Structures are given as C-alpha cells and as structure tokens.
Amino acid sequence: MFRPSSVLFRSGSVLFRSGSVLFRSGSVLFRSGSVLFRSGSVLFRSGSVLFRSGSVLFRSGYVLFRSGSVLFRSGYVLFRSGFVLFRSGYVLFRSGYVLFRSGYVLFRSGSVFLGRAMSFLGRATPCLGRALSCLGRATSCLGRVPSF
C-alpha cells in the first residue's frame, strides 16, 4: 500500500512511512524527525531523548532516569528508589516512614519527628545534580541515531 504524500508500505507486520519515516517489524518501530525506536519494551526518541528498556527510562533536557522504582530528574534532582526519594533545591529524602527535607530539615521515622538544620544534605545534592548532568550528556548521544 502506497500513498504519495507520506509513503506507506506494509508487508506482514512490517510498515514503512516516509516524511517522518515509520518502520515497524513485529514490536520494532522507527520514526525519523524525532527518532522513535521501539523493540519490545525498548524505546528511543530524539529531541528530548527518550530511552525505555523494560522499566528503564531516560529523557534529556531535564534528565529523567527510571529503573524499576528508581527515578532521577535533573534541574531539581529527583531520585526515587522504592520508598526512597531525593529532591534538590529543598532536599527531600523519604525511605519508608523516614523523610528528610533541607532548608528547615524534616525528619520523620514512625512517630519520631525532629526539625533539625541538616545543611550537609543541601551541600551533598549539587553532586547529584552534576552526576545527572553527565547522564544528560550521555543520553543526548542516543538522539544522534541516523535518520532514515
């Protein structure tokens, strides 16, 4: 099957479309422009680079990394692993019932509540931000997939 404007070709489960090129073979899908690649649970997209493999997801710009219950986001850094959550700016750390927040630091564990100034958490989070910016530069390479 062909269309002159955006050319469409299908053979079995294989599909091609020109313009923004679309290729699908089984669970595999490519699209040019903002490059889209999907194979099973794997997905790439350029521009704001999106990579997903199983539960793993990367996105550039503000870097998003998710692996299972683990999530990173740059700008204000967000890290989540199970019940554990970090956020920079005002740092947020949660593990089960345990919660930390910088600025005025909030610590909660069960029925225990402490309002302490734990500024070292605030100083530690820029390191997370720099580490995640490296991830951002790494994931931007994924966007350089050759166009079709």
Does the pTM exceed 0.85?
Answer: no
Domain boundaries, the chain: 47-144
Q: From the CB of residue 134, how many other CB atoms can be counted at a distance below 10 Å?
A: 11
- Number of C-beta neighbours around residue 124 at 10 A: 14
Cα 80 from Cα 95, distance rounded (Å): 9
Residue with tokens 């990173």: 72
What is the average pLDDT across 16-25? 42
By the 8 A CB rule, do 79 and 67 touch? no
Measure the CA–CA gap between 5 and 75, rounded to whole angstroms.
41
- Position 137 confidence tier, pLDDT thresholds 50, 70, 90: low
**Are the C-beta atoms of residues 92 and 140 closer than 8 Å to each other?**
no
The secondary structure of residue 129, as a DSSP letter, is: H
Q: Three-state SS for 137?
A: helix
Q: What would the pLDDT profile of 35-93 be if each residue is shown by its tens digit?
A: 344 433 334 443 333 444 343 344 433 334 443 433 444 334 344 444 334 444 444 44
In angstroms, rounded to a whole number, what is the distance separating the alpha carbons of residues 22 and 27? 13
